[in-house]
């Protein structure tokens, strides 16, 4: 199936929107009418056809525009992509994982030919045709992780495993929900999760870390996380918070449906074969409130989740200023009917 | 001992002498001199294998340098500032040999810079023995312009580099040896609460 890539922006004039098909395949993160932190990790198995879980790496209609936005972020701030020297093997592992997955599942867009270490990569949507020697950094125009992640949607972190802990020792992070790779590079699992409220005390990170230390090759896992963003801005980084934070004050009852977005992160983790590192991918999906309510079950459910969310979580996620206005908007789309179990539309 | 529930803040376990070390490379700031004196006591044998770097900082009137020097460390480097001490420490780490044990003591921002220099030289941070002494002032990095400020005792604090008023977050980076400062008025420009002296 050929994807029609949209021409759209995630900054300035914010022309991003979802097609009806993209709305229907949105990874809605609530399977109940309420939300609290949970480890919520499941096997990253192939999901329903056309869903974002169909393939290990999901490429969608926003691909080309998102890659343009990433290039803009990196041009302004090269520190968004960093890798400590011992992570080079893991970087090559990531090249293999992403190229293999993209070429296998989207053959009309990506093509990979391997003859020993002589690799040939074709990326048609971005117009790239690259022959290189696997393992030889001098044969690519960027370091390996940066090279392939400039061509793949989602942020990526590479975690080294040692001393019974995971260390975030490399990554490319341009579409983040307000955390800084530059600040967190080199941190252990619990250190980089330090600012998250409540979850430490209920043991979420102890359990998640124990689970991930035992992650096996060929058995990736995934989980969903969520927050909300004003305007379809991918680069909600702390680095630029003094520029985008003001957006949170611009929500009105008239524009709430168009300005307020649910932002869902599809987080997936793979064990890498050569380095024994773990790749942690964080793929962000955005949906406007007026798009969300076109799926009646989601409109009802998100109204209830947001209305009943604990204040600490609303604060941490930065929702406080526009939460009530959004709840009021969603209330008009909640007739009180029961919602069916599970994530998917009825 | 500094007790904290900040998950990303290192735990400073206190200086204890590694008897197996062939060389004690000790970096001390201010009141950290007292931690060195207490930990190494009057065992001449340990002092004879010590390279000691000291900068008095705000403790200059107490003249700890004299007390340190009186214990006759093998090499004693007295520095007027943290910056000059760090320059010397990096030079020593460049040529440090197997069996060298690194120690750091003083205010948190100083310990952090010593640990970061150790990491840059391939020293496992778990192996560095640290003890917090002196004030609770923080070293802060502005997340926006990436500028550092030493000895921050208040929050909010205006970034000395780019001028953005910063909330000092309870989030610490070992690699940068700093807490994170992030704009406090991004969502309400100009509405900056009065600075409170909370890191004394």
Instruction: Give the domain ranges of chain A.
Output: 20-59+154-331
The verdict on B103 and B149 lying in the same domain is: no
Q: Which two tokens stand for residue A315?
A: 């604060």
- pLDDT band of residue B1 (cuts 50, 70, 90) is low
Measured from the Cβ of residue A141, the count of other Cβ atoms closer than 10 Å reads 10
Say yes or no for a CB contact (<8 Å) between B180 and A193: no
Which of A184, A245, A321 is opposite residue B183, by nearest beta carbon? A245
Domain membership of residue B127 as a residue range: 23-132
For residues B2-21, give the mean pLDDT. 87
The verdict on B117 and B192 lying in the same domain is: no
Number of domains in chain B: 2
pLDDT at site A214: 97
Say yes or no for a CB contact (<8 Å) between B8 and A191: yes
Eight-state DSSP code of residue B47: H
- Provide CB contacts within 8 A for A12, sequence distance 6+: none
B1 belongs to a structural domain: no
ipTM entry: 0.90
DSSP assignment string, B68-112:
HHHT--SEEEE-SSHHHHHHHHHHHHHT--TTEEEEEEESHHHHH
Say yes or no for a CB contact (<8 Å) between A246 and B119: no
Assess whether A223 carries a catalytic annotation. yes
**Residue A209 contacts B where some CB pair is shorter than 8 Å:** no
B156 belongs to a structural domain: yes
**Rounded to whole angstroms, how far apart are CA atoms A231 and A261?**
7
The verdict on B31 and B117 lying in the same domain is: yes
pLDDT at site A10: 98
The verdict on B103 and B39 lying in the same domain is: yes
For residues B159-188, give the mean pLDDT. 95
Say yes or no for a CB contact (<8 Å) between B7 and A248: no
Say yes or no for a CB contact (<8 Å) between B164 and A182: no
Q: Is the peptide bond before B156 cis (omega within 30 degrees of 0)?
A: yes
B10 belongs to a structural domain: no
CATH number (domain holding residue B109): 3.40.50.80
The verdict on B68 and B125 lying in the same domain is: yes
Q: What is the pLDDT of residues B104-151, one digit of tens each?
A: 999 999 999 999 999 999 999 999 999 999 999 999 999 999 999 999
Partners of A249 on chain B (C-beta within 8 Å) are 187-188
Top pLDDT among A40 and B178 is at: B178
The verdict on B150 and B104 lying in the same domain is: no
The verdict on B111 and B175 lying in the same domain is: no
**Rounded to whole angstroms, how far apart are CA atoms A238 and B184?**
11
Which of B146, B173, B182 is opposite residue A241, by nearest beta carbon? B182
A256 sits in the region (left: phi over 0; alpha: psi -120 to 50; else beta) called alpha
Crossing angle for the helix pair A320-331 and A296-308, to the nearest 10 degrees? 140
The verdict on B75 and B95 lying in the same domain is: yes
The verdict on B43 and B102 lying in the same domain is: yes
Phi/psi of residue A320, nearest 5 degrees = -55, -40
pLDDT at site B8: 87
- Write out B105-152 in H/E/C secondary structure: EECHHHHHHHHHHHHHCCCCHHHCEEEECCCCCEEEEECCCCCEEEEE
Task: Give percent of chain B above pLDDT 70.
Answer: 98
The verdict on B119 and B142 lying in the same domain is: no
**Residue A238 contacts B where some CB pair is shorter than 8 Å:** yes
Which of A182, A185, A194 is opposite residue B8, by nearest beta carbon? A194
pLDDT at site B2: 60
Last residue of a domain, one of B79, B111, B132: B132
- pLDDT band of residue B43 (cuts 50, 70, 90) is confident
The verdict on B27 and B124 lying in the same domain is: yes
User: Which position among A24, A68, A114, A223 bears the catalytic label?
Assistant: A223
Say yes or no for a CB contact (<8 Å) between A187 and B182: no
Which residues does B contribute to its contact with A (CB < 8 Å)?
6-8, 119, 126, 141, 143-144, 146, 164, 169-176, 180, 182-183, 186-189
Last residue of a domain, one of B132, B148, B176: B132
**Residue A203 contacts B where some CB pair is shorter than 8 Å:** no
B145 belongs to a structural domain: yes
What is chain A's pLDDT, residue by residue, as a tens digit (346 residues)? Answer: 689 999 999 999 999 999 999 999 999 999 999 998 777 889 999 999 999 999 999 999 999 999 999 999 999 999 999 999 999 999 999 999 999 999 999 999 999 999 999 999 999 999 999 999 999 999 999 999 999 999 999 999 999 999 999 999 999 999 998 899 999 999 999 999 888 777 777 788 888 899 999 999 999 999 999 999 999 999 999 999 999 999 999 999 999 999 999 999 999 999 999 999 999 999 999 999 999 999 999 999 999 999 999 998 898 888 999 999 999 999 999 999 999 998 888 8
pLDDT at site A197: 73
Q: What is the pLDDT of residues B17-36, one digit of tens each?
A: 999 999 999 999 999 999 99
- Chain A 77-96, residues with CB within 8 Å of chain B CB atoms: 79
pLDDT at site B3: 62
- Write out chain A in H/E/C secondary structure: CCCCCCCCCCCCCCCCCCCHHHHHCCCCCCCCCCCCCCCCCEECCCCCCCCCCCCCCCCCCCHHHHHHHHHHHHHHCHHHEEECHHHHHHHHHHHHHHHHHHHHHCCCCEEEEEECCEEEEEECCCCEEEEEECCCHHHCCCCHHHHHHCCCCCEEEEEEEECCEEEEEEEECCCCECCCHHHHCCCEHHHHCCCCCCCCCCCHHHHHHHHHHCCCCCCCEEEEEEEEEECCCCCECCCCHHHHHHHHHCCCCCCHHHHEEEEEEEEEEEECCCCCCEEEEEEEEEEEHHHHCCCHHHHHHHHHHHHHCCHHHHHHCCCHHHHHHHHHHHHCCCCCCCCCCCCCCC
**Rounded to whole angstroms, how far apart are CA atoms A82 and A182?**
7
The verdict on B85 and B171 lying in the same domain is: no
């Amino acid at each position: 199936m050929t994807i029609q890539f949209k021409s759209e922006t995630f900054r300035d004039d914010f022309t991003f929107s979802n097609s009806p098909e993209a709305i229907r395949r949105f990874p809605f993160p609530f399977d109940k009418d309420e939300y609290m932190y949970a480890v919520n990790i499941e096997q990253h198995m192939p999901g329903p056809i056309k869903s974002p879980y169909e393939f290990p790496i999901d490429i969608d209609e926003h691909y080309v525009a998102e890659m343009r936005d990433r290039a803009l972020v990196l041009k302004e701030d090269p520190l968004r992509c960093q890798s400590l020297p011992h992570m080079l093997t893991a970087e090559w592992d990531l090249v293999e994982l992403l190229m293999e997955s993209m070429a296998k599942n989207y053959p009309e867009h990506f093509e990979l030919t391997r003859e020993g270490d002589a690799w040939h990569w074709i990326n048609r949507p971005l117009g790239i045709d690259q022959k290189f020697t696997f393992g030889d950094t001098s044969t690519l125009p960027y370091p390996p992780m940066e090279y392939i992640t400039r061509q793949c949607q989602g942020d990526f972190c590479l975690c080294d495993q040692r001393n019974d802990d995971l260390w975030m020792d490399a990554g490319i992070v341009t579409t983040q929900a307000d955390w800084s790779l530059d600040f967190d590079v080199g941190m252990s699992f619990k250190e980089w999760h330090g600012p998250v409220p409540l979850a430490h005390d209920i043991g979420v990170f102890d359990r998640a870390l124990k689970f991930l230390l035992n992650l096996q090759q060929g058995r990736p896992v995934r989980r969903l996380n969520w927050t909300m963003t004003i305007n379809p801005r991918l680069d909600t980084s702390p680095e630029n918070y003094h520029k985008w934070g003001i957006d949170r004050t611009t929500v009105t009852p008239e524009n709430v449906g168009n300005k307020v977005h649910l932002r869902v992160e599809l987080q997936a983790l793979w064990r890498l074969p050569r380095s024994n590192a773990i790749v942690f991918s964080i793929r962000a999906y955005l949906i406007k409130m007026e798009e969300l309510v076109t799926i009646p079950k989601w409109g009802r459910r998100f109204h209830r989740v947001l209305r009943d969310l604990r204040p600490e979580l609303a604060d941490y996620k930065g929702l406080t200023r526009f939460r009530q206005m959004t709840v009021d908007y969603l209330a008009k789309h909640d007739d009180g009917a029961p919602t069916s179990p599970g994530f998917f539309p009825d | 001992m500094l007790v904290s529930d900040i998950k990303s803040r290192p735990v400073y376990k206190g200086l204890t002498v590694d008897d197996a070390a062939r060389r004690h490379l000790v970096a001390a700031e201010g009141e950290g001199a007292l931690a060195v004196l207490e930990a190494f006591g009057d065992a001449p044998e340990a002092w004879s294998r010590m390279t000691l770097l000291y900068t008095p900082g705000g403790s200059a009137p107490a003249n700890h340098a004299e007390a340190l020097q009186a214990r006759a460390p093998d090499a004693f480097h007295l520095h007027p500032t943290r910056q000059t001490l760090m320059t010397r420490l990096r030079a020593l780490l460049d040529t440090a040999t197997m069996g060298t044990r690194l120690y750091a003591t003083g205010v948190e921002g100083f310990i952090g810079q010593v640990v970061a220099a150790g990491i840059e030289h391939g020293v496992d941070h778990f192996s560095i023995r640290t003890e917090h002494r002196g004030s609770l002032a923080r070293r802060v990095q502005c997340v926006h312009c990436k500028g550092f400020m030493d000895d921050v005792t208040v929050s909010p604090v205006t970034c000395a580099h780019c001028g953005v008023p910063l909330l000092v977050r309870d989030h610490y980076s070992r690699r940068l040896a700093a807490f994170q400062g992030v704009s406090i008025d991004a969502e309400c420009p100009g509405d900056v609460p009065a600075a409170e002296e909370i890191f004394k």
